[in-house]
Amino acid sequence: MDTQAHSPAASSSFDDVDHVPRRAWLGLLVVLGPVLLVSMDGSVLFLAMPTITRSLGPSADQALWILDIYGFAVSSLLITFGSLGDRYGRLRFLIGGALVFGAGSTLAALSASPGWLIVSRAMMGLGGSTLLPSGLAVLSELFASPRLRSRAIGIFAATFAAGFAIGPVIGGLLLSRFFWGSVFLINLPVVAIFLLTAPFVLREVRATRPGTVDLPSIGLSASGMFLAVYAVKRAAAYGPSPLVAVSAAAGAGLLTWFLMRQRRLEHPLVDVDLFKGRVFTIAILTGVISLVVWSAAAYLSGVYLQSVLGLSVLAAALLALPGAVVLTATCVLTPALADRIGQRRALLTCHIAMAAGLALLLATRVTEGVGWFMTSTVVAGLGYGISFSLVADTAVGAVPTERAGAAGAIAETSNEVGNALGIALLGSTATFVFRLRGPGVAPTLGETLDVGATSSAINQAKEAFVDGFHLAVALAVLLCAGLGTLAFRWLPHPGE
């Protein structure tokens, strides 16, 4: 995605810092609607999954795919659709993506089976993968002034982060009043408003980019990721098997082939040479790890509050609200913080806050843990907010200007990949522990509660879930602490 691309036909009035046309601000508002939906739908199911489990009865690996397939569809195709949008028109891709996203949302709300819901979520991810890169490129046409363009992109990034933060809260509030499909139907009014207004306030944007889209690279990355994650989920739900071993080996092989191919291409899908820069690498790793630990903690905490402590979905949503507020506020305030203390200290603060906040979840128990959960979300929310706001700016600033577009695309993709990997890896870790330590009545806690197990079996199931929850959280703490240590050693001190 090329954040600098803009129409050469943009009028000179767009260069007037003090007199930006009303159309520009209206266009920003119109674009922010789909952006909020795309990010919100990456997390809206975290509190909704217990309700969906009771309604549709998915297996352990189906439940994880319901959560994950959206993020993997977005992350696998984000760079591809960014490149295609440059060639064939960003506005065209925005409108087409919104139509697909709306259709997928409708099908998801009407799903009668876990398989139907998984396919519908994949369709939503397909639409979402066109909206993010095209929306940001359209903003560059609206705000030709560098200063105001930077401000608009900051609002764009804060909105994207806010969507991740408020997704679980919105889902919980909807489920307290309506059926589970309402978490998808809420998308339709926003999509409708966008489709009605976008053709009138947004202009088509194209950028001349060399080369063609490398279709083998798309196939290698998407299929490699799918097979690798399938192997993790299958092993967690059902244990090791020849199918797991073959899937893992094939996935690893395809991803390796993909990376090797990128190094040989004149115009690669992912510019792997950018990772030679330590600052860029730390920024991208921060983007991945922060979403890995945040998504896993949010999902597992939602199950813990509802299925272990027995809280209603509304109560769980309200308990998550303070952390969401802190996260969103931190996104807005982080640019000023980074200007004051520097990006290095800001990133180190990010890693420390995430590790400390997550560690508080280790104090939760089967009988109590509400206070620990709320404190955890507030402390970790500081770290998440810094990461969500700072990663793209740090990554783009660490590379030459002519490679800023590639850096921005990788930064966005890192967030979506991290969001999906969190559930796939840490969520599967918790599932694996439950399978080993649970009563053996059913493969998940939700299913155990639904089959009418004895009180002793239910208690054992809750203990097993908390054990798996704690192991996943401990691994998340280690990831944050390890990345913080790496950042401390690699990031240059001010003045160097």
Using alpha carbons, select from 488, 474, 472, 449 the residue that is nearest to residue 344.
488
Do the Cβ atoms of 394 and 284 come closer than 8 Å? no
What confidence score (pLDDT) does residue 12 get? 38
The C-alpha atoms of residue 37 and residue 50 are separated, in whole angstroms, by: 22
Q: What would the DSSP string read from start to end of 368-421?
A: --HHHHHHHHHHHHHHHHHHHHHHHHHHHHTS-GGGHHHHHHHHHHHHHHHHHH
Instruction: Find all residues with CB under 8 Å of 122, minimum gap 6, and list them.
Output: 69, 70, 73, 104
Which residues touch 58 (CB under 8 Å, ≥6 apart)? 52, 66, 114, 117
The CA–CA distances, whole Å, from 218 to 221, 223, 276, 415 equal 5, 8, 23, 18
**Cα–Cα nearest to 416, from 211, 125, 90:** 125
Distance separating the N- and C-terminal Cα atoms of the chain:
30
Number of C-beta neighbours around residue 365 at 10 A: 13
Matching residue, tokens 């804060």: 158
Q: Do residues 258 and 221 touch, judged by C-beta distance below 8 A?
A: yes
Q: How many CB atoms lie within 10 A of CB 58?
A: 22
Distance of CA 347 to the CA centre of its chain: 19
Those residues with Cβ within 8 angstroms of residue 326's Cβ, 6 or more apart along the chain or in another chain: 377, 378, 381, 382, 385
323 in Cβ contact with 378 (< 8 Å): yes
pLDDT of residue 328: 80
Residue 117 is classified by DSSP as H
Give 275-278 contacts, CB < 8 A, sequence gap 24+: 277/398, 277/399, 278/490, 278/491
Position 7 scores a pLDDT of 39
pLDDT for res 461: 92
**Encoded tokens for 239:** 């244990």
pTM above 0.85, yes or no: no
Tokens encoding 449:
């509660």
For residue 9, what pLDDT is reported?
A: 38
Residue indicated by tokens 């730390």: 282
Instruction: Specify whether the CB–CB gap between 45 and 171 falls below 8 A.
Output: yes
Low-confidence ranges of the chain (pLDDT < 70): 1-21, 75-76, 78-79, 82-83, 85-87, 133, 136-137, 140-141, 144-147, 149-151, 153-154, 157, 161, 204-213, 237, 401-406, 408-409, 412, 416, 420, 494-496
Q: What pLDDT is stored for residue 17 in this prediction?
A: 44
Is the Cβ–Cβ distance between 52 and 213 less than 8 Å?
no
The answer to whether the Cα torsion of 425, 431, 434, 440 is positive or negative is negative
Distances (CA, A) of 126 to 105, 119, 129, 157, 254: 11, 11, 5, 21, 21
Residues 53, 241: Cα–Cα separation, whole Å: 26
What is the pLDDT at residue 153? 66
Domain topology for 1-210 = Growth Hormone; Chain: A; (1.20.1250)
Q: Which amino acid is residue 225, in one-letter code?
A: M
8 A C-beta contact, residue 134 and residue 94: yes
Quick check: 138 and 198 in contact, CB under 8 A?
no
Sign, CA torsion 432/434/437/442: negative
Angle, CA 243 vertex, CA 237 and CA 244 arms, to 5°: 50
Single-letter amino acid code for the residue at 36: L
In Å, what is the CA distance from 78 to each residue of 270, 394, 463? 11, 20, 40
Give the CATH class of 276-496: mainly alpha
